Amino acid sequence: MHEVTLVARRREQIGKEHAKKLRRGSQVPAVVYGHGKPAISITVDCQDLLPLFGAGAGDNTIITLKVDGAAQELKAIIREIQTEPLYNKLVHIDFQEILLTEKIKVPVHIHLAGEAPGIKEGGIIEHILHSVEVSCLPADIPDKIVLDVSGLRLGHTLHISDITADKFEVLGAPTQPIVSVIAPRAAEESVAAPVAAEAPAEPELVGRKKKEGAEETEAETKESK
């Protein structure tokens, strides 16, 4: 588990123009919510956020928030990050307050390890599921889930039920496939199969973000509650 401490300042003003002014001053508008409490509007310095996205930091880093005027420090995780897509600049952050004694649900990346013998048999690795949702205490959130594929032969598949979990519970259907070794012809047919038109995916920063236009609608709705 990776931990970071952030100093935050309360902000009394909200709105598009005020948010733009804050960002020009290297401040990122944010909100903290959770446990039925009213959302707190805050700002954090861009430089202070660097440890959250640097080497060793994970998507589920536990954050100690020191908010000016608060009676005590808050523990939180990032639930959503909004960015300006053209320059990938931070626009808004949603922090969720947590309790270290209360289980939470978070997504965790799946990392494949080992060499599948099915590749030497002429197969191709097909990584189907790249993350799973887990439930656990904040201190037990894994940085990643490592799945060993060294026993995976041609035509074989590993499922959610093959994940070894000790201090966390993996959510989702046990039969959900994660990775398979398939024949090259099957891979070509999969690519060639017609796919329904979908809206282009938005760029991701640590897996949780929305475009700038969402800030004035969703983020400020939380702040006004």
- The 10s digit of each residue's pLDDT in 5-58 is 899 988 876 767 777 777 777 888 999 998 888 888 899 988 888 877 765 556
Q: Once rounded to an integer, what is the mean pLDDT over residues 79-86?
A: 85
For residue 168, the model assigns a pLDDT of 96
CATH number for the domain whose boundaries are 104-189: 2.170.120.20
* Cα distances (angstroms) measured from residue 58 to each of 18, 84, 207, 217: 30, 21, 10, 28
Find the mean pLDDT for residues 183-199. Answer: 59
Average predicted confidence (pLDDT) for the chain: 81
- For residues 92 and 218, what is the distance between their CA atoms, to the nearest angstrom? 11
CA dihedral 213, 204, 141, 125 (to 10 degrees): 150
Please state which CATH class domain 3-98 belongs to.
Answer: mainly beta
Domain spans, the chain: 3-98, 104-189
pTM of the model: 0.73
* pLDDT at residue number 192: 56
Cβ atoms of 68 and 55 within 8 Å: the answer is no
